[in-house]
């Protein structure tokens, strides 16, 4: 049975005209009443005509904490990949910046209904974003980049396989003689930071390498953060440092150089993401590549699955190691000094 | 540059006619030469005309160790879901039983090429299946149910989220007063068995419950296996036992009943999968449902992504708890005896 405007009107004991105005966001209906009308409409399973009409198929990408407008921005290809796949299937894709204000002023489900969006893709959300906190009970098909909501069938995760990322990096470093491998992690206040930290620990164990807490650091996703953490880590002589992002790797390289260390002759640094910065650093940064175009495409596929009631929980993509100039043979390693040692005998 | 039959002939220094016969599996070319021709064709990147032609789009589901022909068989809906999605996109879907002989006689990539299959979905494969062992270097897009191959971009995993499955079950049992929860696991000789065992351990920790090794058992995926493990586990007084499959749960219930225990009054049992057996047991079995139709659909989506060079690594689906009759309030639990205790005072 399809829920109609008059059913909502009856339930709220107000006129059909007022419900209609509320659903369309007319300015002569108060903010509180509009919210009540929308909340009731959602609760009753009302679908506006514009959502039933094939000509009005709308999805939204909500983005926050992330640049996406120019080609080198992290979000650019993610959005592009999503659009490419979604538009092939006849969807209109809208992009909205999910400001703190937007999230605070609007209930997520209510907002989606008022705009006529069938589903959404969340990019760049952190654990303290209000809408992320409210997703455990959302009825709107929603796909999250690097965030996870347990139990709710309408929500799905998409991201790069962090364990495989660290497993590849650590295997590569080990082959070059590195055993004292540090990790410059981001603070564990986001799902992706926690996930990468756990992946680092697991991959170190997988390669039978010891984890030394003295060469672990926890900072921000910015190059500036390195100066507060890298000097302390260097006192304990790591031969390589993995980083949670490319900007953190960039900052780490600068700090090492300021302290008179040569990268990669004295210490190797590996980034994460493969943003444009990697090519503009000296040395160029060896990093783990996330295929952002694929992330966008997968996010659309997952969203489309949920809309068709196929409840995908998680989708992960394969990372690749991009070898540039910031990694070398471990200093003091057998690999490097083997000849020297023999000569001295 | 497209590789042609004459290129293969030139490389092997044999006639174009022989190569053509080998590619088509003609009986007057020896087995060894046919294999060599096919191997060389794959190595050189040759695509037979029938694979370039839109009218000949073929995928194959290889199935082993699993029934699938009647509606109640575990594999039936998995195949159905895959076919429903694949045929919508114009693919022909073939089903082949991957016998030991087939796997031993044929290299996987070679076989796929000779049959003109673009990609495959593996259902029911165990770690000792030859083709599974050879997947680390396959060039053929392949999706695996419940199996995982690291690093190879052409291979993808699909399965139900085992952690969420055990997390839901254990939360449910805990609410009913159970704290001594055992696990009748399958031997850890398959990816899915290991995954479920780890999920059990992780979910117990998540709910702050102690794991007692005395109430863990490791058997086969069959009801018959229960009699070798359940009696020993019962000596250590679990109030509930989770099982790796419904047939194991069915066996566990029978053993408990033979030993004079009432299910669920004396002990609660939970299965896994939700096969038809659950409804034919007395009591009916409470279990974790894998949505097999969705698994098939997701497998197709992942395969199609890989074919389009979007390298999905893993896709997991949400499990649901199906409440029937084999779970009750924990014996001796506060929940159960609370009233009694008060009355005695």
Q: Do B314 and A311 touch (CB under 8 A)?
A: no
What value does the mean pLDDT take over residues A114-125?
Answer: 94
DSSP letter for each residue of A263-304: TTTT-EEEEEE--THHHHSSSPPEEEEP-HHHHHHHHHHHHH
Does the pLDDT of residue A316 top 50, yes or no? yes
How confident is residue A40, by pLDDT bands cut at 50, 70 and 90? confident
How confident is residue B2, by pLDDT bands cut at 50, 70 and 90? confident
A301/B contact by beta carbon, under 8 A: yes
pLDDT value, residue B55? 60
pTM of the prediction?
Answer: 0.78
Does the pLDDT of residue B33 top 90, yes or no? no
How confident is residue A344, by pLDDT bands cut at 50, 70 and 90? very low
How buried is residue B162: exposed, middle or buried, by Cβ count under 10 Å (0-12/13-18/19+)? buried
How confident is residue B343, by pLDDT bands cut at 50, 70 and 90? very low
Q: Do B161 and A316 touch (CB under 8 A)?
A: no
Task: Give B345 to chain A, closest Cα distance, Å.
Answer: 42
What value does the mean pLDDT take over residues A193-222?
Answer: 95
How confident is residue A56, by pLDDT bands cut at 50, 70 and 90? low
Task: Give B160 to chain A, closest Cα distance, Å.
Answer: 9
Residues of B numbered 309-328 whose beta carbons fall under 8 angstroms of chain A's beta carbons: which are they?
Answer: 310-318
What value does the mean pLDDT take over residues A219-226?
Answer: 94
Average pLDDT score, chain A? 89
Q: Which residues of B touch A312 (CB under 8 A)?
A: 298, 315-318
Task: Give A303 to chain B, closest Cα distance, Å.
Answer: 12
Structure tokens given for B50: 């029938």
Q: Which residues of A touch B151 (CB under 8 A)?
A: 164, 168, 318
| Segment B66-97, tens digit of pLDDT | 889 888 888 999 999 898 888 877 899 999 99
pLDDT value, residue B51? 57
What value does the mean pLDDT take over residues A29-51?
Answer: 74
pLDDT value, residue A341? 37
Q: Which of A36-40, A156-160, B105-109, B258-262 has the lowest mean pLDDT?
A: A36-40
How confident is residue B214, by pLDDT bands cut at 50, 70 and 90? very high
Between B242 and A65, whose confidence is greater? B242
For the four alpha carbons of B17, B22, B26 and B31, in that order, the dihedral sign comes to positive
Does the pLDDT of residue A51 top 80, yes or no? no
pLDDT value, residue A104? 93
Nearest Cα neighbor of B77 from B344, B298, B340, B291 is B291
Cis peptide before B158 (omega within 30 of 0): no
What value does the mean pLDDT take over residues B22-29?
Answer: 79
Q: Which residues of A touch B164 (CB under 8 A)?
A: 150-151, 313
| Distance in angstroms (rounded) separating the CA atoms of residues B64 and B78 | 13
| Segment B96-123, tens digit of pLDDT | 999 999 999 999 999 999 999 999 999 9
Does the pLDDT of residue A189 top 90, yes or no? no
**Residue among A163, A166, A313 with most chain B CBs within 10 A, to mutate:** A313
Neighbours of A34 (CB within 10 A): 20
| Segment B246-272, tens digit of pLDDT | 999 999 999 999 999 999 999 999 999
B183 bridge partner residues: B216, B242
pLDDT value, residue A338? 41
DSSP H or E segment with residue A16: helix A16-23
Residues 6+ apart with CB under 8 A from B280: none
Number of A to B CB contacts under 8 A, please give it.
65
Does the pLDDT of residue B35 top 90, yes or no? no
| Segment B291-312, tens digit of pLDDT | 999 999 999 999 998 998 888 9
What value does the mean pLDDT take over residues B22-37?
Answer: 79
Does the pLDDT of residue B141 top 90, yes or no? yes
Looking at mean pLDDT, say which of A9-18, A23-32, B194-203 comes out highest: B194-203
Does the pLDDT of residue A334 top 60, yes or no? no
pLDDT value, residue A54? 54
pLDDT value, residue B208? 97
A96/B contact by beta carbon, under 8 A: no
B65/A contact by beta carbon, under 8 A: no
A161/B contact by beta carbon, under 8 A: yes
What value does the mean pLDDT take over residues A27-37?
Answer: 80
Name the DSSP class of B198.
H
Structure tokens given for B73: 């068989």
Q: Which residues of A touch B312 (CB under 8 A)?
A: 298, 315-318
A288/B contact by beta carbon, under 8 A: no
Half-sphere exposure of B72 (CA within 13 A, CB side): 6
Average pLDDT score, chain B? 89
Does the pLDDT of residue A55 top 70, yes or no? no
Does the pLDDT of residue B27 top 80, yes or no? no
| Distance in angstroms (rounded) separating the CA atoms of residues B79 and B59 | 12
Give the rounded percent of residues in chain A with a pLDDT score beyond 90: 68
Does the pLDDT of residue A339 top 60, yes or no? no
| Distance in angstroms (rounded) separating the CA atoms of residues B152 and B290 | 26
B78/A contact by beta carbon, under 8 A: no
Does the pLDDT of residue B344 top 60, yes or no? no
pLDDT value, residue B242? 98
Q: Which residues of A touch B298 (CB under 8 A)?
A: 305, 310, 312
Structure tokens given for A110: 């209510």
Between B29 and B255, whose confidence is greater? B255
ipTM for the predicted complex: 0.72
A297/B contact by beta carbon, under 8 A: yes
């Amino acid at each position: 049975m399809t829920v109609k405007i008059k059913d909502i009107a009856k339930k709220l004991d107000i006129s059909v005209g007022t419900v209609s105005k509320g659903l369309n966001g007319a300015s002569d209906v108060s903010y509180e009443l509009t919210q009540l009308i929308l909340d009731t409409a959602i609760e009753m399973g009302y679908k506006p005509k514009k959502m039933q009409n094939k000509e009005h198929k709308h999805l939204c990408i909500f983005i926050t904490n992330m640049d996406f407008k120019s080609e080198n921005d992290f979000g650019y290809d993610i959005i592009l990949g999503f659009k490419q796949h979604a538009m092939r299937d006849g969807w209109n894709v809208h992009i909205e910046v999910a400001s703190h204000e937007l999230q605070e002023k609007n209930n997520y489900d209510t907002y989606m209904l008022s705009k006529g969006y069938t589903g959404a893709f969340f990019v760049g959300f952190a654990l303290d974003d209000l809408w992320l906190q409210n997703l455990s009970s959302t009825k709107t098909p929603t796909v999250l980049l690097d965030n996870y909501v347990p139990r709710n069938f309408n929500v799905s995760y998409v991201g790069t396989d962090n364990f495989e990322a660290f497993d590849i990096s650590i295997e590569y470093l080990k082959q070059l003689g590195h055993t004292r491998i540090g990790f410059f992690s981001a603070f564990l206040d986001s799902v992706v930071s926690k996930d990468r930290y756990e992946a680092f620990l697991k991959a170190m164990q997988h390669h039978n390498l010891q984890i030394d807490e003295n060469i672990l650091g926890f900072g921000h996703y910015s190059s500036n953060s390195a100066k507060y953490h890298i000097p302390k880590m260097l006192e304990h002589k790591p031969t390589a440092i993995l980083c949670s992002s490319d900007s953190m790797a960039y900052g780490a390289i600068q700090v090492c150089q300021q302290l008179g260390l040569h990268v990669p002759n004295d210490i190797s640094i590996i980034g994460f993401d493969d943003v444009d910065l990697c090519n503009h650093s000296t040395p160029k940064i060896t990093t783990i590549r996330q295929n952002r175009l694929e992330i966008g495409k997968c996010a659309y596929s997952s969203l489309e699955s949920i809309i068709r009631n196929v409840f995908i929980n998680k989708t992960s993509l394969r990372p690749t190691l991009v070898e540039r100039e910031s990694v070398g043979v471990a200093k003091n390693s057998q690999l490097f000094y083997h000849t020297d040692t023999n000569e001295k005998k």
